[in-house]
Structure formats: C-alpha cells, structure tokens
Amino acid sequence: MKINDPEIQKNVYCKLLAILLLLEWICRRITYVLKYAKPVFFPPATYIHLEIKVKTNFKYIYMAKIVVLGAGISGHTAAAFLKKKLGRVHEVVVVSPGAYYQWIPSNIWVGVGKMTIDQVRFKLQPVYDRWKIDFRQAKATAVFPEGDQAMDRPYISIEYTGEARRGETDKIDYDYLVNATGPKLNFEATEGLGPNKFTHSVCSCDHAVATWGALQTCMLRMEEGEKLRFLIGTGHPTATCQGAAFEYALNVAYEIKSRGLLHMAEITWISNEYELGDFGMGGAFIKRGGYVTPTKVFSESIFAEYGIRWIKRAGVSKIEEGLAHYETLDGQMHTQPFDFAMLIPAFAGVGLKAFDKVGEDITAKLFAPSGFMKVDADYSGKAFEDWSVDDWPSVYQNPAFANIFATGIAFAPPHQISKPIKSPNGTLITPAPPRTGMPSGVIGKIVALNIVDQILTGRTVFKHRASMGKMGAACVVSAGFSLLKGNAATMTVFPIVPDWQKFPEWGRDLNYTMGEAGLAGHWIKLFLHYMFIHKAKGYPFWWLLPE
Ligand SMILES: Cc1cc2nc3c(=O)[nH]c(=O)nc-3n(C[C@H](O)[C@H](O)[C@H](O)COP(=O)(O)OP(=O)(O)OC[C@H]3O[C@@H](n4cnc5c(N)ncnc54)[C@H](O)[C@@H]3O)c2cc1C
C-alpha cells in the first residue's frame, strides 16, 4: 500500500470531508439548541406568547412564513441566516427575477476581461434546494400588507420571469416580509444613457461582459494607431456608487498601460462630487502613513499617478453618440466627447406598489418618493445642517407595518450625507448616499436575526441593530489586476455616516478610518472575492465568514 496512491488519497480526502461536514452539522445543532431550545419550551413569557398566537393565528406556533424579495448581497444573506436559524419548521421563500446570484463588486474585473461571467455568478436554485428555501424566479410587483377582500393574510403579488412560467402571476402570503430588492438602474433618468444606447455599464455582470467587448474593440483601434477618448464616472447629477466607477477607471487605465497604449488614450473622470473622493459620504479624513489625509488628496494623487484627468461638480444631463452633455455647479453647460463611456446611472426603488384591504393605493405609506422603502429613520426633511446620525435607521422596520423590513439599497436613507448643492439653474448636483456591500450584508443579517428572535421567543424588542451612523465599513478599490504587479486602495471608515458630535474634529474615528494603496490590497480583494462566493454558495462554515 503506497501513501501516494491516488485512490488511497481520494479515499482519505473523502473521509476528511465527511468528518468536517459532520462536525459542522454537530456545531450547528449545539448552537441552535443552546440559543433557542430553552425559550421555545420553558419560560412563562413564551407560554403567554404561544397562547396569544393560538388565539390569533394557529399557524404561527408551528410555522412562520418569511418572504425575502431579492437575492442580492442583502437578501441572500438574510435568507441564508433565516433558514439556518429557523430550520425546517419555518418556511423561507425567496423571490428574485434572475436565476443567478452575482457578486457585483467583481463585475469590475469582468468589465476589463480579467474574470469571466461565470466566475462572478452562480445559479441560485441548487443552493436554495440544498438549504430547503422555496425559490421563485419572479419579480415582486405589489405588496398587500393587510391582504385583500379575497385573502385574509398579508401577501405580495409576483410575476414569474423564469422560462417555464414567464409572465404568469401569483400571490405569496407571508408573516414577515424582507424587501431587499436593491436599486432600479434608472438609465431612463438621463437621455441617451446606458447599454443599447450610447454608454456602457458594469452594474450587472451582463452589462460588464458587453462593456469588456467594447473595451477590447477600443484596444484594437488604439493598437492600429487611433487615439481614443475614454469617459468614466457618473451619468446623472444625483447618481451614487462613485466607488465602483472610480475602480473601473483605474482598471481601464491599468489595462491600457499594461498594453503600452497609454499615449494613445485620453482618460477622463466625470463626477457629480464636489471634490474627488467624496464617494457620496461627504468624503473622509483618513489616517495614512501617520498623516491625516482627506480622500480628495488620496483620490487625486491616484488619478494623477494613472494619468487620468477629471471633471468634478458635473451633472450629466444628456448623452448623444460620442458626446456627453453636462452642467457644472456654476450653472455652465458643457460637452465632453468620447469614444468609450462607462457612466453609472441614477438609482431608484424598483417600483413596488402597495394596496390596502379595499384596494386603495397606499404606496406613499410604505415607500419614499424615490421608490425606496421607509424604515425606522427620521424622514421629517430637516435642513441638512440639522441632521444627526440618530436620524439613521437601526432595525430597518417599516413604520406602518411591523412585519415588513427593508435591507441594503432598498431602504430609503433619511437624508444626503454629502452636502446637497444646487446650480443657479436649480439642478441638484450631489451624490446620493451610497449603501455598499458590507452594510447591505450586515443589515440583511441583523434583520434576519431579529425576525428569528421574534418567531422563536415572541420578544418584540430588537436585540440586533446596525445603524450606518454606528457601524464601520471596509472597501477595497481595485486599481489593477495582477498577482505580482496589481494594485488596490484599501479603505476603512468608522462610522459610515459621519458623527460630528462624537468626533467633532474629523467626523469619524481616525483609529478605524484608514487607507493604504499597494499590491497587498489586490491580494485582499482577490481573497475577498473567493471568500464571499464561498459564503454565498453556503459551503462549509459559511456562517462564520463576515459580511
Ligand atoms: C460595479 C459595482 C461594483 C461595486 N463594488 C463594491 C465594492 O467593491 N464593495 C462594496 O462594498 N460595494 C460595492 N458595490 C455596491 C454593492 O454591490 C451594493 O451595495 C450591493 O449589491 C447592494 O446589495 P443589495 O442586496 O441591496 O442589492 P443588490 O445586490 O442589487 O440585489 C438586489 C436583488 O433584488 C432583485 N430584485 C430587483 N427587483 C426585484 C423585484 N421587483 N422583486 C424581487 N427581487 C427583485 C435583484 O435581481 C437582486 O437579486 C458595487 C456596486 C457596483 C454596481
């Protein structure tokens, strides 16, 4: 018997894997029993809760039904934790129009040809089958939080989008609803913007594939001696997600440079930010190499290093073939010609409607005018100077219906983080507040844990909170994909929404607000890609990995 015999090795690996899976299962059971068994079976408070539930709705005791709308970073995280904590007794349904989960941050690499579409996405159905989650490939169209004349329970209406049932409509009742529908990519808000019109996008993996195709054509044209103009940034006066566009600009510059074509390219950044590095969060002061540096200087120096010129305070209003029209904060109108443009659109809610029991439209009760869902935030519309971090939500519960929550980009922020400024023509040219991947995942998780708590213990006081004014976020901005020559800027901010009362000097805690650029950042970004895909696929110990 030889130890390096492949058959024996295969056998040993299989056994090791089986032991690991068994250990994972045992750990899960122990955690579950320690955490939830007691309250479910013993304390008097629970009996009261059960009694009330028996009277109101018999179904609650044995099975709660939670419907999650959206299988993106936030919804998928929420669904995963709901099912893990609630087990088979309770029902989790996920409604999402796409067949795939996609790890959106890596679309940047798809857009420069460094990753294929299938490296950043995977099919949801097999994962949900394994987790025993009922997956409906469909888009939600309306919420009926009180039910209607025909159905006595709250429900949502959906329209199937998968091949087998495309166009069919259906109703799904729920005890709890988690709205994690993310943004509508509102290309229509800017004339001529978007794929199939005159600009490209990396906001979805399909868009990123097409964008890489167009970029390749540009590379060929430059190789043949043509000088080309690249325009990258925001495509609407109030667009957000500057970080993604910034990252794409750096990757495009890196790819052009690595082909020795930088002298053939003029790369321009265009943005609605008042200063570079605003990122929709009013910029930040970061500790870097022992000095405190504003993100303005950080971003400008990276752009200078990559040979990228910039236009700031610009609200793109219209795109024609090869020409972007924009207004600057001083009220002047300008144009910028381009051969290739990747511009981020405005975001809006996905357009869900809401109706009461008698069919009256109550959309405004549940949703802000932007289409994002109202939660436990202060929407009183105070002056910008008067807001505080306490205006930001922490449990993401809809104020009108206690069993409805909104997570990730789907919740309506209470106000701008970057100071809103209008041009003399009355155009608001300011980034909307971003809600990046990390907070979206964290919010999805805490909403799931609070719902689990309510179902299993009857407690209505929320144990888990995640205000963007009290939590930090880390962001790694890729600036070139290569294991040996790559680069990325790694940034952490704490808190995400600046707290000028607690940190009067810099708005944030400088011990946790830091930034560095270098090759190690690229390794971290690549590691995070594989780690988050591992987690999203529900591979062993996924729940131990951070959001
Ligand atoms: C190119 C790019 C790069 C980025 N890079 C980073 C990064 O490096 N780091 C970072 O932290 N953040 C990054 N972000 C931001 C990050 O991707 C978002 O913060 C995150 O995806 C938000 O998660 P979400 O679940 O709220 O929305 P999404 O991930 O957009 O998910 C929304 C889900 O809802 C579904 N849906 C839509 N309409 C309906 C409907 N009517 N009914 C049911 N379901 C619906 C969608 O199909 C989708 O599954 C990047 C964003 C982009 C565009």
CA separation for the pair 148, 153 (Å, rounded): 8
| Per-residue pLDDT reduced to its tens digit, 300-349 | 999 999 999 999 999 999 999 999 999 999 999 999 999 999 999 999 99
| Per-residue pLDDT reduced to its tens digit, 139-151 | 999 999 999 999 9
| Tokens read off for 157 | 């209406």
CA separation for the pair 449, 82 (Å, rounded): 7
Ligand 1 center–CA 424 separation, angstroms: 34
Q: 99 exposed, middle or buried (CB, 10 Å; 0-12, 13-18, 19+)?
A: middle
Q: Is the pLDDT of residue 46 over 80?
A: no
Q: How far is CA 403 from CA 395, 407, 408, in A?
A: 12, 13, 17
Ligand 1 center–CA 367 separation, angstroms: 19
Which atom of ligand 1 lies closest to the CA of 408?
26
Q: Is the pLDDT of residue 40 over 80?
A: no
What residue spans define the domains of the chain? Answer: 1-42, 57-183+350-420+435-457
| Per-residue pLDDT reduced to its tens digit, 126-180 | 999 999 999 999 999 999 999 999 999 999 999 999 999 999 999 999 999 999 9
Ligand 1 center–CA 503 separation, angstroms: 30
Ligand 1 center–CA 432 separation, angstroms: 15
Write the Ramachandran bin of 545: left for phi over 0, alpha for psi from -120 to 50, otherwise beta.
beta
CA separation for the pair 191, 441 (Å, rounded): 33
| Tokens read off for 428 | 């608001």
- Phi and psi at 124, nearest 5°, equal -80, -35
| Per-residue pLDDT reduced to its tens digit, 261-294 | 999 999 999 999 999 999 999 999 998 878 899 9
Which of 233, 142, 171, 160 is closest to 429 using CA atoms? 233
Q: Which string of DSSP letters, residue by residue, matches 344-361?
A: EPEEE----EEB-TT--B
> Which one-letter amino acid corresponds to residue 26?
I
> Which one-letter amino acid corresponds to residue 531?
M
Are 123 and 99 contacting, i.e. CB atoms less than 8 angstroms apart? Answer: yes
CA separation for the pair 151, 141 (Å, rounded): 17
Residue bearing the CA closest to ligand 1, atom 19? 436
For domain 57-183+350-420+435-457, the question of CATH label 3.50.50.100 is answered with yes
* Separation of first and last alpha carbons in the chain: 45
Give the residues surrounding ligand 1 with Cβ less than 6 Å away. Answer: 69-75, 95-98, 104-105, 107-108, 139-140, 180-182, 202-203, 241, 244, 350, 408-410, 435-438, 440, 475
Strand partners, 378: none
pTM confidence score: 0.88
Show the CA angle centred on residue 43, arms to residues 41 and 48, nearest 5°: 95
Residue bearing the CA closest to ligand 1, atom 1? 203
Q: Is the pLDDT of residue 391 over 60?
A: yes
CA separation for the pair 34, 47 (Å, rounded): 19
Which atom of ligand 1 lies closest to the CA of 437?
11
CA separation for the pair 61, 50 (Å, rounded): 6
pLDDT at 459: 85
Q: Is the pLDDT of residue 439 over 60?
A: yes
Q: Which string of DSSP letters, residue by residue, matches 124-168?
A: HHHHHHHHT-EEEEEEEEEEETT--SS-SS-EEEEEE-SGGGTT-
Ligand 1 center–CA 437 separation, angstroms: 7
| 531-545 average pLDDT score | 95
Which band of pLDDT confidence, cut at 50, 70 and 90, is reported for residue 66? very high
| 507-528 average pLDDT score | 92
CA separation for the pair 63, 456 (Å, rounded): 10
- Helix, strand, coil distribution of the chain in percent, nearest 5: 35, 25, 40
Q: 117 CB contacts (<8 Å, ≥6 apart)? A: 110, 205, 206, 208, 209
Mean pLDDT of the chain: 91
The size of the chain, in residues, is: 547
- Phi and psi at 73, nearest 5°, equal -55, -45
CA separation for the pair 100, 122 (Å, rounded): 5
Q: How far is CA 200 from CA 197, 251, 318, 326, 368, in A?
A: 8, 15, 14, 17, 29
- Residue to substitute in 102, 121, 181, 367 for testing ligand 1 pocket (most ligand atoms within 8 angstroms of CB): 181
Residue bearing the CA closest to ligand 1, atom 11? 437
Q: Is the pLDDT of residue 34 over 80?
A: no
Q: Helix (H, G, I), strand (E, B), or coil: what is residue 104?
A: helix
Q: Which string of DSSP letters, residue by residue, matches 18-87?
A: HHHHHHHHHHHHHHHIIIIIHHHHS-HHHHHHHHHHHHH-THHHH--EEEEE--SHHHHHHHHHHHHHHG
- Residue to substitute in 104, 207, 342, 409 for testing ligand 1 pocket (most ligand atoms within 8 angstroms of CB): 104
Residue bearing the CA closest to ligand 1, atom 23? 73
Ligand 1 center–CA 249 separation, angstroms: 20
CA separation for the pair 538, 547 (Å, rounded): 13
| Tokens read off for 45 | 């408070």
Ligand 1 center–CA 208 separation, angstroms: 14
Which atom of ligand 1 lies closest to the CA of 438?
11
Are 509 and 286 contacting, i.e. CB atoms less than 8 angstroms apart? Answer: no
pLDDT at 62: 55
Q: Helix (H, G, I), strand (E, B), or coil: what is residue 420?
A: coil
